[in-house]
Structure 1
Amino acid sequence: MASPLAPGTRRRRPTTATALTTTVAALALTACSAVGDSEPPAAEGATSSGTVVLVTHDSFALSEELVAAFEEDTGLTLEQRAPGDGGALVNQLVLTKDAPLGDVVYGIDNAFASRAIAEGVLEPYESPAAGEDAQRYAVDDEGHLTAVDVGDVCVNVDRTWFAEAGIAEPETLEDLTKPEYEDLLVVTNPATSSPGLAFLMATVAAFGEDGWVDYWTALRDNGVKVASGWSDAYYVDFTGPSSEGGDRPLVLSYASSPPYEVPEGVTDPAEAPTRALLDTCFRQVEYAGVLAGAENPEGARQVVDWLLSPEVQADIPEQMYVYPVDSSVELPESWATFAPQPEEPFTLDPEVITENRDAWIRTWTDTVVG
């Protein structure tokens, strides 16, 4: 059985692509001259030379064949530097903006997008490869960031456990506070976990500033368990097939997790051992952008275009367990069957997130953890 890993911090496997040289970047990285910032975008089909440095989170992965084809087609060598997860990534970009860690970034999500733009770490670039799907997730009108993929953080249900217990499965956020689901839910801490932060934002979007604290108070009183990270929640506390003997049949995970729990030969969604509660989902969006002060801005633009190419978009689901931003890309058959996307996921304006994120986390901590 494949791993049920899905989007979020530590939700994707590390890359094995030999063409991507992973380097934990130092904070003070000195720059040397290359292509000037005033260079226009490369014409379609143009080739370059030298190295283009992709700064990303530590869960980036694409097929070796695609990386090799990119290097052959462009004449570039693609180097990867991974200073940490999504939150750490933005922090490092801000700290090193006067001596950028690289040329192009991938993995800034909508929880940190506005901060990255406000801090001046990005150079505007409107990719000709960005279609309507990518454009609808635009953070601003200048093109500082281009959407590459989306992932939906949702509560997952161990259907087998509920069937054996004779208890109806919950469906909504409100259901999770009901007495019949006492001591059954495990979530992750928004101060230490990307999916935990996404779920906190789902409750803010659902219940508003006047109601989300009361909601978490109800969850706390109903016995919600808080794990530090996704792996502990999913593999230790959850009762699902991949768990190590957990006792919680409700876990915070992703809409893309269930396909990786389905036994070989099962084709009926009704027989899947787990499912995502699509009325509890918050949509995460991951972006790419050209770094301000990049040594190779032309190469950086080519990387952004490449990440939006049909080949890369088709590779994203099984490599990084997220949905391609291009909705015309055919998903793996198991995803179409067992990982439908929510029709109306919860969302928040990135600027609202930036303005309130730290305060929300402090209030959540005081309310739930104490």
Structure 2
Amino acid sequence: MRLWALALAGVVALAVAAGCGEGGEATPSEVVLVTHDSFAISAAVKDAFERESGLTLRVLQGGDANETVNRALLTAGDPQGDVLFGVDDNLLSRALAGELFDEYASPEVGAVAEGFEPSDERVTPIDHGEVCLNVDRGWFTARDVPPPTSLDDLVDPRYRGLLVVENAATSSPGLAFLFSTVDRYGDPGWEDYWRELRANDVLVVDGWEEAYTQQFSGAAGSPGKRPIVVSYATSPAAEVIFAGQPLDESPTAAVEDGCFRQVEYAGVLRGARNPEGARTLIDFMLSERFQADVPGSMFVYPVRADVPLPAEFERHAIVPAAPASFPPDVIAANRDGWIDRWTEIVLR
């Protein structure tokens, strides 16, 4: 009997050491965040989450937002992680239709700024960014040419061969810029606008990285020759932060006209191995500590109302007063058709 009791005690001890919970199931010691390549978190904030939650945060990154959502849809119900972050308005309808998420309403949602409240209990807003035209100040100053200030300007012959955009079929900012032109010129008026852009020698590349760091002349270290690019409202602040020397003025500027707002969401993946940890992580991503880290880490704006912005954002970035946006159901009903027609007009 004594040997049996000792053996049983050993089994219990091993179970406790392994983190077994009720029913003999192992209690997860980590939470896995599935996200895009642009996700970033400072070491101090990551350490704070792990210390406060008792969980190890593992981050799985894979391509841009579009690729990340596509992969998640292929494993819906049996996901690679516990939380998906980075699905934006452009992709939200696909993620919801694919039943990627379980419902979860974070208690931190009450601190979200007006206009960013979640419209579906399966996702939680985390940040927002505005896709805007960016210009190379020095290029235009050197040639005594005024930079464009509107979407209309881009079809003017004096800006011929100066614009680089991302492919609307493969890039999130490229798709947002397409949506901005649909919002401005209507459907099908936007088609004529893109025909004019094509006639004015617009350059289309696959994604933001190529457009901004290789083709845009205003990016630090870029060999590019095009002084107008589709990027973000915060890109000028990033140029100052990464300049390596103090700058009174950013070498680039965002154009407020024609900006399109994107909100990024997080959700508990259906079938998550650690749903409790997933909810804890989403709560943390809406906390003041994480939200204050968002601008400096990912160069987007926090959705929480009470979070101050870095000085570089205050001085060099813009928050467009009236950016274009579409409800997810409008995007769901029209996205594929708009992309197909855009591709036919611009790429063929």
Tell me the residue number matched to 1:266.
247
Alignment partner of 1:116 is 2:95: yes
Return closer, same or farther for 1:275/1:196 CA change in 2, 3 Å cut-off.
same
Q: Tell me if 1:154 matches 2:124.
A: no
Q: Where in structure 2 are the equivalents of 1:318-329 lying within 5 Å? A: 318-329=296-307
Please give the alpha-carbon distance, in whole angstroms, between the structure 2 residues aligned to 1:325 and 1:341.
Answer: 13
Q: Which range moves more in the overlay, 256-265 or 115-124?
A: 256-265
**Take 1:211 and 1:224, find their aligned partners in 2: how far apart are those partners?**
18
* Aligned partner of residue 109 in structure 2, secondary structure: coil
Q: What corresponds to 2:167 in structure 1?
A: 189
Q: SS in structure 1 opposite 2:297?
A: helix
In the alignment, the residues of structure 2 paired with residue 52 and residue 241 of structure 1 have an alpha-carbon distance, to the nearest angstrom, of: 36
2:58 is aligned, of 79, 91, 101, to 79
After TM superposition, the score normalised by the length of structure 1 is 0.82
Gaps of 5+ in 1: 1-32, 37-47
Identify the residue that residue 339 of structure 1 maps to in structure 2: 317
* Structure 2 equivalent of residue 224 of structure 1: 202
Percentage identity across paired residues of the two chains: 48
The alpha-carbon distance between structure 1 residues 365 and 233, as it changes in their structure 2 partners (threshold 3 A), is same
Check 1:241–1:147 CA distance in 2 against 1; reply closer, same or farther (3 A cut): closer
Superposition map of 1:99-178 within 5 A = 99-131=78-110, 133=112, 136-138=115-117, 140-141=119-120, 143-178=121-156
**Aligned residue in 1 for 2:42:** 63
User: What's 1:255 paired with?
Assistant: 233
Say if 1:49 and 1:74, in contact at 8 Å, map to a contact too.
Answer: no
Does the C-alpha gap of structure 1 residues 238 and 227 become closer, same or farther in structure 2, counting only changes over 3 Å? same
Q: Deviations over 1:15-68 (max 9, x none)?
A: xxxxxxxxxxxxxxxxxx9899xxxxxxxxxxx862222111122210112112
Q: Report deviation, 1:341.
A: 1.0
Please tell me whether the aligned partners of residues 113 and 139 of structure 1 are also in contact (alpha carbons under 8 angstroms).
no
Residue 296 of structure 1 is aligned with which of 274, 295, 298? 274
**Residues 83-123 of structure 1, C-alpha deviation per residue, up to 9 Å, x if partnerless?**
43211221122211131222211111111111111221111
Contact 2:212 2:219 in 1 (8 A): no
Specify whether residues 35 and 266 from structure 1 end up closer, same or farther in structure 2 by C-alpha distance, changes over 3 A only: farther
Which entry has the higher C-alpha Rg, 1 or 2? Answer: 2
- Deviation string 1:225-277 (CA, Å, 9 cap, x unpaired) is 1122222222222221525332211111111111233463333xxx4321000
Letter in 1 for 2:88: D
Aligned-residue CA RMSD (Å): 2.1
Once residues 189 and 35 of structure 1 are traced to their aligned partners in structure 2, the CA distance between those partners, rounded to angstroms, is: 51
Q: Provide the secondary structure at the position in 2 that maps to 1:87.
A: helix
CA change 1:327–1:300 in 2 (3 A) is: same
Structure 2: gaps spanning 5 or more residues:
1-19
Separation in 1 of the partners of 2:149 and 2:277?
46
Which amino acid in structure 2 is aligned with residue 350 of structure 1?
P
Higher helix share: 2
Q: Is the 8 A contact 1:145 1:289 kept in 2?
A: yes
Opposite residue 319 of structure 1, the aligned amino acid is S
Q: Which moved more, 1:213-222 or 1:57-66?
A: 57-66
**Matched residue SS, 2:138:** helix
Per-residue deviation, 1:133: 3.3
Indicate if the aligned counterparts of 1:97 and 1:121 stay in contact, CA closer than 8 A: yes
Superposition map of 1:87-98 within 5 A:
87-98=66-77
| Separation in 1, partners of 2:38, 2:239 | 21
